[in-house]
Structure 1
């Protein structure tokens, strides 16, 4: 961490506004990607998989980056909770699984679930490792900085 003094925490209203602004951008981006990668029949939800994996990777990188500096106290709520929270989607993932299974392919639905979970965790860990390498921080970064309430 930087030797600078930590910025004054924002008021609750400022934090709410940061989360809402980030969420608006994240959900708009997810919607636009969904238009670019529409579901192709009974196949997997490729757009959902893309946003969830890219969001997990970005979260890992963001956590590493935030751990190396003193930043605005609104940056984390904006980027982690709002932007990446709006970008990723568990509910659409659940609907994709239902659609795949409803299309008669239980094996494909299980494959989609396993791929999303395993690749998502892998992407988050890869993001942390990349961030640690890029921003030269300690190897136990996730334990030091990840706050369960915000992630």
Structure 2
């Protein structure tokens, strides 16, 4: 004889009848999504404020976006060392700060738009220089942030 709904048991071993209920996919990820969103608001607000304080003239090198991206890359280098080597962070710290705040603060989409605008408005040299300078400076900033944080931790542990 076949059983329409095989008997299942809950955590305590008690039989459970009826079809299985599917867990919501947001149940486990809800807090992560919320923290990324909250952090993104903080980071994007800081980036917007920086753009308002130091606007870029049309055709000029976009120093504000350049600085934001380089600083954000240095901070992510330091942050990743701290949460992997120095202290055990709560599971929501990385999504909040690393993905949310720093993801909202750094703006590689604006970087791409800035390059396109510079090239399209007759400043291809500035656009290509900005493209190369940002890439090199961002990679160097991550490396410097990581290296500085590791050295500081090593000195502290002695």
TM-score range, shorter chain: 0.7 to 0.9
* 1:21 partner SS: helix
Aligned length in residues: 128
Taking the aligned partners of 1:108 and 1:11, their CA distance within structure 2 comes to: 46
Equivalence for 2:118: 100
Q: CA deviation at 1:47?
A: 1.4
| Residue of structure 1 in register with 2:48 after alignment | 31
Q: Which structure is richer in relative contact order (CA contacts within 8 A, separation 6 or more)?
A: 1
Query: Conserved in 2, the CA contact under 8 Å of 1:64 and 1:135?
Result: no
Which ranges of structure 1 fall in alignment gaps of 5 or more residues?
Answer: 1-9, 138-151
SS in structure 2 of the partner of residue 23 of structure 1: helix
TM-score, with length taken from structure 2: 0.77
What's the counterpart of residue 77 of structure 2?
Answer: 60
1:19-69 CA distance string (max 9 Å, x none): 111100000000000001101231011111111001000000000111121
Report the Cα offset of residue 101 of structure 1.
1.0
Q: 2:153 aligns with which of 116, 135, 142?
A: 135
Structure 2 spans left out of the alignment, 5+ residues: 1-26
> 1:97, CA displacement in angstroms?
0.5
Shift of 1:17: 1.0
